[in-house]
Amino acid sequence: MIAGVLCMCAAVASAGFGTWSLSRNQVVDTSALALRALAPTQLAAAIMLAAGGVVALAASPHTALVVVIVCVAGALGTLAAGSWQSARFALRQEATAAAGCAGGCGVCTQSCR
């Protein structure tokens, strides 16, 4: 029961942060763009945590334990992968701006990979 309630609270927090990131005004700041790019990942993690919480509250203890572990591990993995991708995006944008390629990859002589 405690694990189910904790999963539901974590799901609400993750959904809140994801919604907050999406509702912010679009700005040119690289860190704000990276946070906005992380929002879908946060919402996906919220869905996984909510599913784990519902199963933990409704299923038998042995089944609930396995499902909660899988859902929490999936949510953490999803957030880690999304954070890594957002950080790569932010670093790429910073490097492009520092190299004087503010016009985008078509103007610059560097590859944008």
Q: What is the pLDDT of residue 103?
A: 54
* Residue 105 included in any domain: no
Q: Name residue 61's amino acid.
A: P
pLDDT, residue 111, reads 54
Would you say 90 and 34 are in contact if contact means Cβ atoms under 8 Å apart? yes
Domain membership flag for residue 47: yes
Residue 107 lies in a domain: no
Q: What is the pTM of this model?
A: 0.74
- 28 belongs to a structural domain: yes
Longest dimension (CA), the chain: 60
pLDDT given for residue 78 in this prediction? 94
Name the residue range of residue 70's domain.
2-98
Residues of the chain with confidence (pLDDT) below 50:
none
Residue 113's nearest CA partner among 95, 70, 4 is 95
Query: What is the structure's pLDDT at 66?
Result: 92
| Predicted confidence (pLDDT) per residue in 26-45, tens digit | 766 777 777 888 889 999 99
Q: Is residue 112 part of a domain?
A: no
Domain total in the chain: 1
The answer to whether residues 88 and 68 touch, using CB atoms and an 8 Å cutoff, is no
Residue 77 lies in a domain: yes
Task: Give the pLDDT confidence score for residue 99 in this predicted structure.
Answer: 74
